[in-house]
Amino acid sequence: MEISVPSRQLFIDGEWKVPLLNNRIPIINPATEEIIGHIPGATKGDVDLAVDAAKRALSRNKGRDWPSAPGSLRARYLRAIASKITEKKDEIGKLEAIDCGKPLEEALADLDDVVSCFNYYAELAEGLDAKQKAPVSLPMETFKTYVLKEPLGVVALITPWNYPLLMATWKVAPALAAGCTAILKPSELASLTCLELAEICREVDLPPGVLNIVTGFGHEAGAPLASHPDVAKVSFTGSSVTGSKIMTAAAQLVKPVSLELGGKSPIIVFEDVDLDKTAEWTILGCFFTNGQICSATSRLIVHESIATEFVNRLVKWAKNIKISDPLEEGCRLGPIVSEGQYKKVLNFISTAKSEGATILTGGSRPEHLKKGYFVEPTIITDVTTSMQIWREEVFGPVLSVKTFSTEEEAIELANDSQYGLGSAVMSKDLERCERLSKAIQAGIVWINCAQPSFIQAPWGGIKRSGFGRELGEWGLDNYLSVKQVTRYI
Ligand code: NAD
């Protein structure tokens, strides 16, 4: 399938701008290892221009500027963006697939979520005006107090490569709905679809400067953006290591941040489950998007009485997953996003082996694929809690298994992690599931399922998985400040 990759520039102040240093970053299709195009590489000077443009958009045409425009006007632009994405869904889906290696079917499903997310925040933007001046009840009548919710100003949105356009949308849609203006910095490993979002902003005549999109490396474009004095807030999704750097930079200016970081999520399987159904969820929870999901349930904690039987079923499932070029029909697992990540995943597996773990299935490149950064779905047993494979985020298709005998032991194993993003509890005993939901240290608990996410429900973690919540009303509140107004009567 021949796909033409559009050649784009930085999107600043409503126009395409060649990067000041004329840097270009090659894009490699991870399924073929071929260079398929280039993206512009922004540096500090470009970031400064983008922030200036976003600042101007806050106050342009006083009275008709972005923050004080009625929510219904902002909603109209968000809906127009959603409908353009729907129109171009096939084209954008294919770009996503060749850029980050996501199976085309998954990429198209992500785009449905992107569209829903823009429409959802359009609705919240419309409702925002009615929520202004919410009265606060006071214990005396001599004062009257109400609350104004106001956009924070210029916000920096820095995103990863695993769900390139969806992760960007989780930030762009609520930020714009709230009345903020923004600079989006997608990952240098997968920026193509965010640049198509820029083209769509041009097509729907989004006012200049409201959304600026600068592509480039983290240290060259992300760092100056995160530390820019005119950026009111940084909303970041990515690794815990980068999250910590961003927090340090923001701390210098007492700038708020929200951080959606890595994870090492547990899935606890009790002895009373339906083995087939649970195996299906376990496979999906760990191997969907090639395990490159922040909330991948990559630590299986299974009751000892069913462990052998259950793991055998998982192995059968894993061996049947179709691994191929993401554009091939029926593909379930594409390549890892880049050579660097591919080597990292294989290193994790070989370290596990050298530490004494057993590779039950997978562990290397599938024989039928000679090119591309493909790794077989891998299941590892004989794991101890001190092993790297149990403790660190792999961000690849690797499931580590441990057994338990009591509920307390399962909880202890689940919570023995620096992370706290997703978690899953599988049991027919719903009271037990409720009990565990309270005991597990995580931002999300799935009961008898794994990985569903809903635009209406809060998403985010605790511990080293970060703080702040995206999606739902919480996502909008990320970009609003709360002002108290009190009158003496
Ligand atoms: P990463 O931290 O390497 O990069 C994320 C973004 O930060 C990229 O745009 C990158 O260019 C930028 N960046 C890098 N260094 C920077 C710096 N010093 N200052 C500012 N920006 C900088 O992460 P990644 O490899 O792109 O993504 C994978 C990670 O993202 C995994 O750890 C995964 O768990 C996490 N993730 C979390 C969620 C969530 O919702 N919690 C969702 C998706 C991915």
* Complete DSSP assignment for 80-130: HHHHHHHHTHHHHHHHHHHHH---HHHHHHHHHHHHHHHHHHHHHHHHHGG
Please work out whether the CB of residue 187 comes within 6 Å of at least one atom of ligand 1: yes
Q: Which of 64, 114, 395, 428 is nearest to 239 (CA)?
A: 395
Active-site positions read 260
pLDDT at 61: 59
Residue 223 structure tokens: 């760092």
Express each pLDDT in 95-144 by its tens digit. Answer: 999 999 999 999 999 999 999 999 999 999 999 988 889 999 999 999 99
- Separation of CA 288 and ligand 1 centre (Å): 19
d(CA 102, CA 312): 27
Residues in the chain, pLDDT under 70: 1, 61-64
Please work out whether the CB of residue 379 comes within 6 Å of at least one atom of ligand 1: no
d(CA 475, CA 489): 36
ipTM: 0.96
Scored b (16 or more CB within 10 A) or e, 442-462 reads: bbbbbbbebbebebeeebbbe
- Separation of CA 156 and ligand 1 centre (Å): 14
pLDDT at 63: 54
Residue 259 identity (one-letter amino acid)? L
pLDDT at 52: 98
- Separation of CA 19 and ligand 1 centre (Å): 22
Residue 301 structure tokens: 């904690």
Give the relative orientation of helices 407-415 and 430-439 as an angle to the nearest 10 degrees: 40
Please work out whether the CB of residue 219 comes within 6 Å of at least one atom of ligand 1: yes
Ligand 1 site-directed mutation target among 185, 239, 459, 474, most atoms within 8 Å of CB: 239
Ligand 1 site-directed mutation target among 25, 184, 240, 242, most atoms within 8 Å of CB: 242
pLDDT at 68: 87
pTM: 0.97
Please work out whether the CB of residue 322 comes within 6 Å of at least one atom of ligand 1: no
8 A C-beta contact, residue 47 and residue 11: no
Please work out whether the CB of residue 245 comes within 6 Å of at least one atom of ligand 1: yes
pLDDT at 129: 87
Scored b (16 or more CB within 10 A) or e, 345-383 reads: bbebbeebeeeebebbbbbebbeebeebbbbbbbbbbeb
pLDDT at 288: 94
- Separation of CA 423 and ligand 1 centre (Å): 21
- Separation of CA 88 and ligand 1 centre (Å): 27
Residue 295 identity (one-letter amino acid)? S
- Separation of CA 203 and ligand 1 centre (Å): 29
Q: Whose CA is nearest to atom 9 of ligand 1?
A: 187
Nearest atom in ligand 1 to the alpha carbon of residue 465 is 41
Residue with tokens 């298994």: 401
Please work out whether the CB of residue 314 comes within 6 Å of at least one atom of ligand 1: no
pLDDT at 64: 62
Please work out whether the CB of residue 343 comes within 6 Å of at least one atom of ligand 1: no
Please work out whether the CB of residue 126 comes within 6 Å of at least one atom of ligand 1: no
Residue 5 structure tokens: 């990759």
